[in-house]
Amino acid sequence: MALRYGLIGSGMMGQEHIRNLNLLEGTVVTAVADPDAPMRSLSVETAGGTAKPFADYKDMLSADICDVLLIASPNDTHHDILMDVLDTAKPILCEKPLCTTAADCREVIAKAERRAAPVWVAMEYRYMPPVARLCEELAAGRVGIPRMMAIQEHRFPFLDKVGDWNRFNARTGGTLVEKCCHFWDLMRLILQSDPVRVYATAGVDVNHLDERYDGRVPDIIDNAFVTVDFASGTRAMLDLCMFAEGAGWQEVITVTGDKARVDACIPGPSRFAPDGAERAAEIVISDRATKKSHRETVDVDADVLQAGDHHGSTYFQHQRFRDLVLSGSGAPEVSLRDGLWSVLVGEAAERSARSGEAVRLDPQAIAIADPGGRNA
């Protein structure tokens, strides 16, 4: 029998989740909750026409027609929704960021402490095939001891969303939380250490400056450099530009150690490419001893690529989440603690960008909210 999914929020990312669940064996979307009527209707259509629509997610919970809950609503709604759905016994997949503030994340973690069913934070960049391949090379010792990591993302601006909620820091948590939580998560995962210091310089220089919403001008950052120091002594950097349409690679993720350097080069979504065609990702390994580089493509199924804007990562994340749910045991691969860390670093980067000062992270800030349980 297929796992029945209920979506809370069915905007752009919700649609991507539905398309990927349609491809995944053993899953079916049976309910969609969204206050926006056109998006509800579109979601039912995308899911194949049989999902039941709800204007209020609480009515969906009362109907009890889902085995799994997936939260893909705007960032600033996550906290309140989670505080409700954590009272259920159902597995939960929550889109990033976990919440818009670390304080809200801590409340969620405290409530989930004694919960048996898993809560998985959707940091899908971990599951991009080129990123997974990079991690394999690191695990095999190809780079030696990782010393530095750099992530460059040069891409298109934030897209238009229902209610334009993604134009303001108050609703998103800020670009360095909303967009970049993926990257802080990758840094922790790959470097196997926790951040201790964050410094950022950023600006609102190009995007959305001519837009007005009830007289308000969007305040989200559209470019930044961020450096992060880790407890292990390693360091990482993010180079973000959100007005760089047409860049050769949307993301380049580089890890350099004492033996070699590995680059994961990831193209942007095909719908933003000049010719509308999919491009393969690449892995480049540069060996320090031989001074030679090896380059190869990382292939992904065409249907999986077409199902979303994140180079197949949403599909592969759903595979892993589905398998966890079906197993009935085990811990989420991306925990609530991971979700909190990504928000903590993003908050620190936003604060640093505005103050011009480096921000130190207190180790106790995470320990207070770490119950050590299944979802931690």
Give the Cα separation of 101 and 267 in Å (integer): 30
Give the Cα separation of 19 and 312 in Å (integer): 11
Cβ(81)–Cβ(61) under 8 Å? no
Q: Which residues contact 170 (CB under 8 A, 6 or more apart)?
A: 76
11-27 pLDDT tens trace: 999 999 999 999 999 99
Same domain, 133 and 118: no
Residue 370 has pLDDT above 80, yes or no: no
Which CATH number fits the domain that encloses residue 187? 3.30.360.10
Structural domain boundaries, residue 181: 126-309+342-360
What pLDDT score was predicted for residue 372?
52
| pTM reported for the whole predicted model | 0.95
Q: How many domains does the chain have?
A: 2
Same domain, 205 and 251: yes
Mean pLDDT confidence for 223-248: 96
The answer to whether residue 337 sits within a structural domain is no
Same domain, 22 and 34: yes
Same domain, 280 and 147: yes
Same domain, 48 and 80: yes
64-84 pLDDT tens trace: 999 999 999 999 999 999 999
Residue 375 has pLDDT above 90, yes or no: no
Residue 304 has pLDDT above 90, yes or no: yes
Q: For a pLDDT cut of 90, what percent of the chain falls above it?
A: 89
Same domain, 163 and 211: yes
Give the Cα separation of 352 and 360 in Å (integer): 10
Same domain, 32 and 113: yes
Select the more confidently predicted residue: 196 or 160: 196
The answer to whether residue 153 sits within a structural domain is yes
What pLDDT score was predicted for residue 14?
95
Same domain, 181 and 111: no
Give the Cα separation of 251 and 307 in Å (integer): 19
Select the more confidently predicted residue: 161 or 363: 161
The last residue of a domain, from among 108, 124, 140:
124
What pLDDT score was predicted for residue 30?
98
The last residue of a domain, from among 89, 108, 124:
124
Which CATH number fits the domain that encloses residue 12? 3.40.50.720
Same domain, 98 and 116: yes
The answer to whether residue 328 sits within a structural domain is no
What pLDDT score was predicted for residue 374?
62
Same domain, 70 and 140: no
The answer to whether residue 157 sits within a structural domain is yes
Mean pLDDT confidence for 129-154: 97
90-133 pLDDT tens trace: 999 999 999 999 999 999 999 999 899 999 999 999 999 999 99
Same domain, 146 and 81: no
Helix 313-327 / helix 129-139 crossing angle, nearest 10 deg: 70
The answer to whether residue 254 sits within a structural domain is yes
The answer to whether residue 314 sits within a structural domain is no
Same domain, 275 and 149: yes
Place of tokens 């991009």: 128
